[in-house]
């Protein structure tokens, strides 16, 4: 299982703490250090719409120019933005066997996923 995110993100911290406290093993993929590739994003976009993966309520999106925001109209146009500015990806992304289990962190969802 893999958890994608940024270490200093509060939501990622909550997810990591919950997983650790419940003894659930995972590999952490740090967007800031490792980035993200188009193949992974393309696969994620077969599971979720770009509007869910791109965090349009976050600071990174809000700091984009209107021109940059206007260029993101579909999955194909969202990929370059997510590669260039990984902080725009909603996080954390919890994945197992290339399947997204959860986007963001919600304790009841995690409890249900892991029968805790």
Active site residue ranges: 9
As given in the structure block, the two tokens for residue 4 are 């994608």
Q: What share of the chain is helix, strand, coil (3-state, %, to 5)?
A: 50, 15, 35
Dist. CA 61–CA 42, nearest whole Å = 20
Distance set, CA 70 to CA 51, 65, 78, 84 (Å): 13, 9, 11, 16
Dist. CA 6–CA 58, nearest whole Å = 13
């Amino acid at each position: 299982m893999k958890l994608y995110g940024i270490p200093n993100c509060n939501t990622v911290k909550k997810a990591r703490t919950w997983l650790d406290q419940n003894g659930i093993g995972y590999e952490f993929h740090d967007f800031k250090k490792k980035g993200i590739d188009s193949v992974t994003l393309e696969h994620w976009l077969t599971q979720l719409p770009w509007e869910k993966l791109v965090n349009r309520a976050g600071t990174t999106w809000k700091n984009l120019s209107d021109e940059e925001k206007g260029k993101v109209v579909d999955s194909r146009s969202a990929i370059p933005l997510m590669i260039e500015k990984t902080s725009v990806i909603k996080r954390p992304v919890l994945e197992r066997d290339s399947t997204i289990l959860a986007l963001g962190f919600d304790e009841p969802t995690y409890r249900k996923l892991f029968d805790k």
